[in-house]
Chain A
Amino acid sequence: MARDRAKACELDQEKYDADENVKIICLGDSAVGKSKLMERFLMDGFQPQQLSTYALTLYKHTATVDGRTVLVDFWDTAGQERFQSMHASYYHKAHACIMVFDVQRKVTYKNLSTWYTELREFRPEIPCIVVANKIDADVKVTQKSFNFAKKFSLPLYFVSAADGTNVVKLFNDAIRLAVSYKHNSRDFMDEVLQELENFELEQKEDDGPGQGQQEGTKSLAAS
């Protein structure tokens, strides 16, 4: 198991350390519209890359934030959510998270807490946006309060992948949050691991446990 995990991390995730790269992950139940949101944002520009070995879909996008070019990788689940849990490498080095539920299906809202718990296990500090999708089906939901977002002080966006309401705003804001997290992060574990990684690299490449692992090491060891 630990071996598998280390292997999956080799999916060139090193690049996410580079200044201009950010990784944004999508979470949420089956059929809440994660891919449809991606496609609405990227329109024709989307060129998803299926990585079936890892059960994930990658969407690449180039954005400009404050005059600087940012290379964004959006990670989409490709059915992995069916296991009610994502592979650890999915969370590895992510800079922001877009967490989606379907306003027509209560169960997808209830499951947010499972997704959120898992996210925080691996990425305790990254910005996370809660997304209420499919408001075109019933626009009255936008008049309602959803306590989940409030409870964890997360921003809540009402969107529709079908008619496009707030989709572009959602993604642009997510990119901004990811960039700003990356540049201002005072995430203690991130820093410690960064130090550790540099240190180990100086010594020599070693395949020992913990090397190249994410800041979730502590919880991983516990699980």
Chain B
Amino acid sequence: MMCTAKKCGIRFQPPAIILIYDGEVKGKSRQRIMPVRNFSKFSDCNRAAEQLKNNPRHKSYLEQVSLRQLEKLFCFLRGYLQGQSLTETMEQIQQERTIDPEEDLNKLDDKELAKRKSIMDELFEKNQKKKDDPNFVYDIEVEFPEDEQLQSCGWDTESADEF
């Protein structure tokens, strides 16, 4: 089945994930409503997203929708069920997906480290220039002038012993 996903969102009442996509007929958008069942304010968003993505009836439609996006949509629904405002939920999602710059990742177990890495990978993938990008250049050299005017990074301590 050919299906090009255009947009994917969530409806709170009654709860459903809604996909706008281009079907086999060119230039004609279609809408698919996928009802969300058995989801409460205590549900695991990641799990719900995985279940929907692997649902045999919806699977082929959701191929182009990332697990991460679906998870986020479920987080919005959960926030709504908990009585949070949209802004509150958005802030919460933001916070969960932010790295604490002070945290020593050497001290985390595999699972927690993998979680942090996946957060960092999001930015990596966003900024990544891939080999098949039309303007990809293998060897990019940029000179960053090293003059006296440089500002300190703020991470060095003043004492002579430390750096």
Asked whether, in the complex, the Cβ of A84 is within 8 Å of the Cβ of B153, the reply is no
Query: Any chain A CB within 8 A of the CB of B124?
Result: yes
Shortest beta-carbon distance from B6 to chain A in Å: 27
Contact with A along B118-132 (1 / 0, CB 8 A): 001001110111010
State A53–B129 Cα separation when bound (angstroms). 34
Shortest beta-carbon distance from B163 to chain A in Å: 4
Shortest beta-carbon distance from B153 to chain A in Å: 4
State A137–B123 Cα separation when bound (angstroms). 8
How many interface residues does chain A have, given as a range? Answer: 35 or more
Contact partner of B153 (CB less than 8 A), chosen from A136, A137, A141, A151, is A141
Query: Any chain B CB within 8 A of the CB of A21?
Result: no
Contact partner of B124 (CB less than 8 A), chosen from A82, A109, A162, is A162
Beyond A109-B155, A145-B153, A146-B156, whether A84 also contacts B142 by CB under 8 A is: no
Asked whether, in the complex, the Cβ of B127 is within 8 Å of the Cβ of A137, the reply is yes
Residues of A within 8 A of B116 (CB): 31
Asked whether, in the complex, the Cβ of A148 is within 8 Å of the Cβ of B142, the reply is no
Query: Any chain B CB within 8 A of the CB of A73?
Result: no
Query: Any chain B CB within 8 A of the CB of A49?
Result: no
Q: Which residue from chain A places its CB closest to the CB of B126 in the assembled complex?
A: A162
Contact partner of A148 (CB less than 8 A), chosen from B102, B125, B156, is B156
Query: Any chain B CB within 8 A of the CB of A144?
Result: yes
Asked whether, in the complex, the Cβ of A144 is within 8 Å of the Cβ of B152, the reply is yes
Contact with A along B149-163 (1 / 0, CB 8 A): 011111110000011
Residues of B within 8 A of A82 (CB): 106-107
Asked whether, in the complex, the Cβ of A113 is within 8 Å of the Cβ of B163, the reply is yes
State A59–B127 Cα separation when bound (angstroms). 24
Asked whether, in the complex, the Cβ of A106 is within 8 Å of the Cβ of B155, the reply is yes
Shortest beta-carbon distance from B140 to chain A in Å: 5
Residues of B within 8 A of A143 (CB): 144, 150-151
Query: Any chain B CB within 8 A of the CB of A44?
Result: yes
Beyond A105-B99, A107-B104, A136-B127, whether A151 also contacts B150 by CB under 8 A is: no
State A166–B141 Cα separation when bound (angstroms). 5
Contact with B along A155-185 (1 / 0, CB 8 A): 0001011111111110000000000000000
Asked whether, in the complex, the Cβ of A163 is within 8 Å of the Cβ of B127, the reply is yes
State A110–B105 Cα separation when bound (angstroms). 13
Q: Write the residues of chain B forming the contact surface with A, with a CB cutoff of 8 angstroms.
A: 99, 101-108, 113, 116-117, 120, 123-125, 127-129, 131, 137-142, 144, 150-156, 162-163
